Amino acid sequence: MFNVDKIRQDFPILSRQVNGKPLVYFDNAATSQTPQQVIDTIVDYYSNYNANIHRGVHTLSQEATDAYEQARIKIQKHFNAKFSHEIIFTSGTTHGINLIANGFSSILQPEDEIIVSALEHHSNIVPWQMLCERTGAQLKVIPMNTDGELIMSEFESLLSDKTKLVFVNHISNALGTINPIEQIIAKAHAFGAAVLIDGAQSCPHIKPDVQALNVDFYVTSAHKMCGPTGQGMLYGKEEWLKKLPPYQGGGEMIAEVTFEKTTYADLPHKFEAGTPNICGGIAFGAAIDYMNAIGFDNISAYEHQLLTYATQQLSVIEGLKIYGTSPQKTSVISFNLEGIHPYDVGTILDKLGIAVRTGHHCAQPIMNFYNIPGTVRASFAFYNTKAEIDSLVEGVKKAKMMLS
Ligand code: C6P
């Protein structure tokens, strides 16, 4: 049974005060909080078996290597990848996208086209612009409507035999829209294009099945799903990962090095140069265990209740406008109060102990579309409560009164 009071006891940070008030943490889309079970995993690693991996014959190194590779298998199973070597450990979503964008430098030709969506985080825009600069390929954009949904008919008209790659986020960080990635993948594949899905915002809420999706690349960050910062994963279909060149050169990614020629290690090591974030990988596995023990069906059902309740309660505030009104949405509410800068609202909420994000959320094209400088973004996780939403609503009313 889902018991939010019990779950909250797992998160030490949730019992602290901010500015003399109980913390209300609604910045989960930026980073999630860490349960004691994951903190214990990190402490255990550094207390008992901290060592470099894949290198030593000594016991500590073997223990660390085993734990790290077990974490890879956990992640493989969680995402239902066919092989564990299709899971590449990265420092996060941004790293995973750059790795693929770099790999396509040797594949794209000047006449090729790649497609992005209007709903992307800068991490899923800038690396592709850089790729276009390197290769001469053209970047096309799937437009959005005022509800914050992608216009699928426009996507279809952008696709052609020139399209080599499509990259879209599963869920928008700025608006919470869940994109129809199944359709996007199928339509792109019909033209022979590969698809990369940015799962930074989906993995905290749902459990993607990469084989059922038939996606070519899927990337995410551990810190959005109860894991540590500086850790993430890239899933790539084996055939693609074999085809793409390594991203960085260094230790551990080689088979043999001479001054005449270097040959590369097999997957996944070909893409994992240097000493990785060993503790981060192990803790990522612990975070996945933790979330699975709660259950993603329970998580998304409960978060949907929070979203519905918060939308109802905030909508009645006069002059409050919500951006992102698709019925297909996760627990993110981006809003503004008429005539008031989002930063000022965020500052007053912070004084009340309520953490939200304000600004463009690293998605400036979305803000440009709505012709606004930014929004206040409240993003809910499974450890939040309706009582906390009541505090937010009261805080927003107070901010409105003070700033109008
Ligand atoms: N979004 C937010 O407040 P990294 O920084 O590599 O872990 O994740 C980047 C990233 C990529 N794609 C999407 C859809 C994202 O939401 C993010 C991170 C945070 O919305 C921090 S900017």
Active site residue ranges? 362
329 CA → ligand 1 middle, Å: 17
Q: What is the structure's pLDDT at 282? A: 98
4-26+295-399 and 39-293: same fold? no
Q: What is the pLDDT of residues 32-76, one digit of tens each?
A: 999 999 999 999 999 999 999 998 899 999 999 999 999 999 999
Is the shortest distance between the CB of 331 and ligand 1 below 6 Å?
no
Is the shortest distance between the CB of 358 and ligand 1 below 6 Å?
no
Testing ligand 1's pocket by substitution, the residue of 91, 123, 197 carrying the most ligand atoms inside 8 A of its CB is: 123
121 CA → ligand 1 middle, Å: 7
Closest CA to 251 of 233, 261, 264, 238: 264
Is the shortest distance between the CB of 198 and ligand 1 below 6 Å?
yes
Q: What is the structure's pLDDT at 56? A: 81
User: Which CATH number among 3.30.200.20, 3.40.640.10, 3.40.50.720, 3.90.1660.10 corresponds to the domain 39-293?
Assistant: 3.40.640.10
Weakly modelled stretches of the chain, pLDDT under 70? none
Closest CA to 337 of 348, 352, 353: 348
Nearest C-alpha to atom 1 of ligand 1 is from which residue? Answer: 30
61 CA → ligand 1 middle, Å: 32
The CA-CA-CA angle for residues 279, 280, 283, to 5°, reads: 85
Closest CA to 354 of 15, 22, 13: 22
383 CA → ligand 1 middle, Å: 20
Question: In this prediction, what percent of the chain has a pLDDT beyond 70?
Answer: 100
Is the shortest distance between the CB of 32 and ligand 1 below 6 Å?
no
Testing ligand 1's pocket by substitution, the residue of 122, 201, 234 carrying the most ligand atoms inside 8 A of its CB is: 201
Nearest atom in ligand 1 to the alpha carbon of residue 96 is: 6
Is the shortest distance between the CB of 170 and ligand 1 below 6 Å?
no
Q: pTM of this prediction? A: 0.98
Nearest atom in ligand 1 to the alpha carbon of residue 173 is: 16
207 CA → ligand 1 middle, Å: 18
Is the shortest distance between the CB of 355 and ligand 1 below 6 Å?
no
Q: What is the structure's pLDDT at 1? A: 82
63 CA → ligand 1 middle, Å: 32
199 CA → ligand 1 middle, Å: 9
Testing ligand 1's pocket by substitution, the residue of 94, 116, 357 carrying the most ligand atoms inside 8 A of its CB is: 94
- Name the CATH superfamily, with its identifier, for domain 4-26+295-399: Aspartate Aminotransferase, domain 1 (3.90.1150.10)
26 CA → ligand 1 middle, Å: 15
Nearest C-alpha to atom 19 of ligand 1 is from which residue? Answer: 30
Q: Could you give the CA distance from residue 341 to residue 359 in angstroms, rounded to a whole number?
A: 9
Q: What is the structure's pLDDT at 55? A: 83
Is the shortest distance between the CB of 90 and ligand 1 below 6 Å?
no
- Encoded amino acid at 387, one letter: A
Tell me the domain boundaries of the chain: 4-26+295-399, 39-293
Is the shortest distance between the CB of 117 and ligand 1 below 6 Å?
no
- Encoded amino acid at 22, one letter: P
Is the shortest distance between the CB of 194 and ligand 1 below 6 Å?
no
Is the shortest distance between the CB of 76 and ligand 1 below 6 Å?
no
Q: How far is CA 68 from CA 36, 140, 270, in A?
A: 20, 39, 16
